[in-house]
């Protein structure tokens, strides 16, 4: 076989330099400058090899610099990780040293929203159950480790029993007898009901996953077909002389002790682009702090002097929380002159064209009762907690509410950033104080009376996300206990209503049972209770696709509306399972009317706004000035600093959350047990989920205040 040659002129079989004379006319010779053929035959190398060696030296230097640069970056990364671990350890020490827990804070409360606090025995029952599971898991782990080192750990329970009973005395000592009895109990009594419960939760999990998939397909179809509510052509308004639709609009701003945000929301709403003769703003202040009341009154008076049609209302008898506040305001005699009412919570800042982009949808559409706008968040990148909340709410608005609005003309009112037809509110029975989700309550009753809803995904209203885990936890408790209260109360009305069978099915099974009850039930039961128990009762199994593949797919679908959040997909999956303990507890409280179901705690606000927001606020105030001195940016800054100093004087601490910590140790114990069975996916899931519960239990996610 003839030798083959590369272009450097070397024999690739022997690796020695040769001179090649190519006879094939299809090949072309490459002429190289340098020594003659005889010179490099004597020297034993070719000119091309010299060029090659020079290039190698240059490449080696470049590679060295690249490696040094990567090493420098790696050292910096390790240093950052090291300092982060030191800070983490210091934060853990502070939590443990302070010893401040959520249970102690609950015991210090005398009343909750005017009602007597819940019986401590009832409040700690759920926590006690988790502790029992924890201690049993620790005991079983010790038991299994001892059996493992004695060599009794076989794959089949039958093999284990045969081995244990193979000794001359029938069993290998007292410990062997105890372990044999444990295996028998496990096989005969524990595994069958546990497997049945696991299979039931898997079925619910699959149904809920299919529901989520259908919603995502609906959202894709809306985008593909570019479906969106269309405004009718504008006509000239006879009274104002402007082109457009300008009915009488009432704007309500309910608030309670929210001095961090009242200025921003009042200023934004007073600058709404709408004829002043057709707009009335009600500031509904339920604050019980005299200083806050005075500040809000002064702010309202300032805008009155500048020409805004705004009034201040304060209730003497503050019953019914937000629903009672709104109900009281709607009873005013002048409300009959208005056709629509827009509602904004105290931290919401609508754009000037908000009413012009929402109210015209009511024109010539007498069946339309509600137009709901989407929320956007000024602090979504503040910390990991706000980023994870943004993922959840982006899916809620863009997928759930948009799909339900397009295909069903129904969704739950968000309580703010929406415009109601007042006739629809009156037809539904007005605001009721019977639950902590008055917004969902009024939406369901309006739907039962045949009113239709529109969701505008392209109209956004800025607001804040809770920055501390304490505030977020209380908010989620209210959001998940209230729907269960409402479900119990409105189920008979839904059954008796005259809406179609399909709408009844959607309201009962999809809206309430599947998304409000089944979701928190299976999420907590399957991943926080059944999965750890299957590690100690291996005869009951959870397939890997249940533990890993479907949750990962669902998390991927959830994160699609917020594509910039893809790096947080794993923390999002773990955090959602971590929050299941709060949601499950809230769901049970609402379903069985426990005391915590009636907790109403105003979500803590930070009043975040950039300096650019303050500048624009000052400019708008100057623009609308009517004979009064314009507010100064420095004065606004000083006011904010004063409020921050007053807040700092109150001694606050991050808390230790006992339920989350107990579940963390339960999951970590189960992950240790899974190592004995060499279950890779189960081990990693339990390990990282346990770490997630540990971080949340030590309040290391969200705002750090000491």
Q: Position of tokens 């409000």?
A: 516
Taking phi over 0 as left and psi of -120 to 50 as alpha, with beta for the rest, 364 belongs to left
| 165 phi, psi to nearest 5 deg | -95, 10
CA distance 469 to 427: 39
Strand partners, 243: 236
Contacts for 65 with CB less than 8 Å, ≥ 6 apart: none
Q: Position of tokens 């000592």?
A: 173
Contacts for 172 with CB less than 8 Å, ≥ 6 apart: 150, 152, 164
For residue 118, give the 3-state DSSP assignment: coil
Instruction: DSSP letter for 358, please.
Output: H
Q: What is the DSSP track for 359-408? A: GGGGTT-TTEEEEEEEEEETTTTSSHHHHHHHHHHHHIIIIIIHHHHHHT
Among 679, 670, 668, 659, smallest CA distance to 530 is for 670
- Please, what's the b/e burial string for 530-543 (b: 16 or more CB within 10 A of its CB; e: otherwise)? bbbbbbbbbbbebe
Q: Which two tokens stand for residue 249?
A: 């609009």
Among 230, 216, 274, smallest CA distance to 248 is for 274
Q: Which two tokens stand for residue 492?
A: 């008979």
Return the number of other C-beta atoms located less than 10 Å from residue 302's C-beta: 19
Among 588, 602, 606, smallest CA distance to 659 is for 588
Degrees, nearest 5: CA angle 444-445-451? 90
Please check whether residue 418 is in contact with residue 342, taking contact to mean a CB–CB distance below 8 angstroms.
yes
Alpha-carbon distances of 234 from 238, 360, 370, rounded to whole Å: 12, 9, 20
Degrees, nearest 5: CA angle 695-697-703? 70
What is the end-to-end Cα distance of the chain in Å, rounded? 80
Name the percent of the chain in helix, strand, coil, to the closest 5. 60, 10, 30
Return the number of other C-beta atoms located less than 10 Å from residue 577's C-beta: 23
Taking phi over 0 as left and psi of -120 to 50 as alpha, with beta for the rest, 321 belongs to left
Alpha helices (H) along 437-468:
438-448
Strand partners, 17: 10
Q: How many helices and strands in the chain, by DSSP H and E?
A: 27, 9
Burial class (CB in 10 A: 0-12, 13-18, 19+), 342: buried
Alpha-carbon distances of 226 from 70, 222, 232, 407, 554, rounded to whole Å: 47, 6, 17, 14, 24
**Residue numbers annotated as active site:** 286, 439
CA 626 to chain centre: 44
Q: How many residues does the chain have?
A: 706
């Amino acid at each position: 076989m003839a030798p083959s040659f590369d272009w450097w002129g070397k024999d690739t079989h022997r690796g020695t330099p040769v001179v090649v004379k190519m006879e094939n006319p299809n090949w072309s010779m490459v002429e190289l400058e340098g020594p003659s053929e005889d010179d490099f035959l004597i020297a034993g190398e070719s000119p091309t090899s010299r060029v090659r060696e020079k290039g190698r030296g240059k490449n080696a230097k470049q590679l060295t610099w690249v490696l040094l640069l990567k090493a420098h970056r790696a050292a910096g990364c390790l240093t950052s990780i090291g300092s982060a671990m030191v800070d983490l350890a210091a934060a853990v020490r502070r939590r443990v040293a302070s010893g401040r827990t959520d249970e102690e804070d609950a015991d210090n409360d005398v009343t909750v929203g005017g009602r007597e606090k819940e019986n401590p025995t009832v409040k700690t029952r759920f926590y006690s159950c988790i502790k029992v599971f924890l201690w049993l898991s620790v005991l079983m782990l010790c038991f299994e480790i001892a059996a493992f080192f004695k060599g009794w750990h076989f794959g089949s329970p039958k093999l284990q029993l045969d081995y244990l009973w193979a000794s001359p005395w029938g069993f290998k000592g007292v410990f062997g007898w105890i372990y044999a009895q444990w295996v028998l109990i496990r096989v005969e009594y524990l595994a069958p009901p546990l497997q049945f419960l696991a299979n039931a939760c898997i079925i619910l999990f699959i149904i809920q996953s299919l529901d989520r998939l259908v919603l995502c397909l609906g959202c894709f179809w809306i985008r593909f077909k570019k479906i969106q509510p269309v405004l009718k052509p504008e006509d000239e308004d006879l009274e104002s002389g402007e082109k457009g639709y300008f009915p009488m609009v009432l704007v309500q701003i309910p608030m309670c002790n929210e001095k961090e945000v009242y200025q921003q929301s009042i200023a934004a709403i007073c600058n709404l682009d709408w004829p002043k003769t057709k707009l009335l703003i009600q500031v509904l202040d339920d604050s019980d702090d005299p200083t806050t009341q005075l500040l809000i009154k002064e702010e309202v008076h300032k805008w009155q002097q500048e020409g805004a049609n705004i009034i201040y209302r304060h209730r003497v008898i503050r019953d019914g929380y937000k629903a009672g506040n709104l109900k009281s305001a709607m009873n005013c005699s002048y409300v009959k002159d208005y056709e629509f009412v827009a509602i904004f919570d105290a931290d919401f800042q609508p754009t000037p064209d908000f009413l012009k982009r929402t109210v015209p949808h009511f024109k010539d559409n007498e069946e339309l009762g509600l137009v709901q706008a989407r929320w956007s968040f000024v602090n979504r990148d503040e910390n990991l907690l706000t980023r994870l909340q943004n993922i959840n709410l982006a899916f809620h608005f863009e997928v759930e509410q948009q799909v339900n609005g397009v295909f069903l003309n129904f969704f739950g009112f968000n309580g703010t950033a929406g415009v109601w037809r007042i006739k629809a509110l009156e037809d539904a029975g007005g605001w009721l104080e019977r639950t902590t989700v008055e917004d969902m309550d009024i939406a369901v009753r309006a739907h039962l009376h045949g009113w239709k809803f529109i969701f505008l995904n392209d109209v956004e209203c800025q607001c804040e996300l809770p920055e501390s885990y304490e505030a977020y936890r209380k908010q989620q408790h209210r959001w998940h206990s209230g729907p269960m209260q409402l479900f119990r109360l409105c189920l008979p009305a839904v059954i008796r209503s005259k809406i179609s069978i399909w709408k009844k099915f959607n309201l009962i099974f999809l809206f309430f049972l599947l998304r409000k009850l089944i979701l928190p039930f299976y999420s907590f039961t399957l991943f926080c209770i059944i999965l750890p128990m299957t590690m100690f009762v291996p005869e009951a199994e959870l397939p890997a696709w249940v533990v890993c593949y479907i949750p990962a797919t669902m998390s991927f679908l959830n994160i699609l509306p917020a594509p910039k959040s893809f790096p947080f997909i794993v923390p999002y999956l773990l955090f959602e399972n971590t929050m299941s303990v709060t949601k499950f507890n809230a769901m049970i409280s609402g379903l069985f009317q426990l005391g915590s179901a009636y907790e109403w705690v105003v979500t803590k606000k930070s009043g975040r706004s950039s300096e650019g927001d303050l500048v624009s606020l000052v400019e708008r105030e100057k623009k609308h000035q009517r004979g009064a001195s314009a507010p100064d940016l420095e004065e606004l800054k000083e006011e904010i600093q004063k409020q921050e100093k007053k807040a700092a004087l109150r001694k606050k601490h991050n808390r230790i959350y006992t339920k989350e910590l107990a579940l963390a140790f339960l999951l970590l114990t189960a992950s240790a047990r899974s190592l004995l069975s060499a279950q890779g996916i189960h081990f990693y899931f339990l390990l990282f989920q346990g770490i997630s519960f540990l971080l949340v239990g030590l309040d290391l996610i969200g705002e750090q205040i000491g």
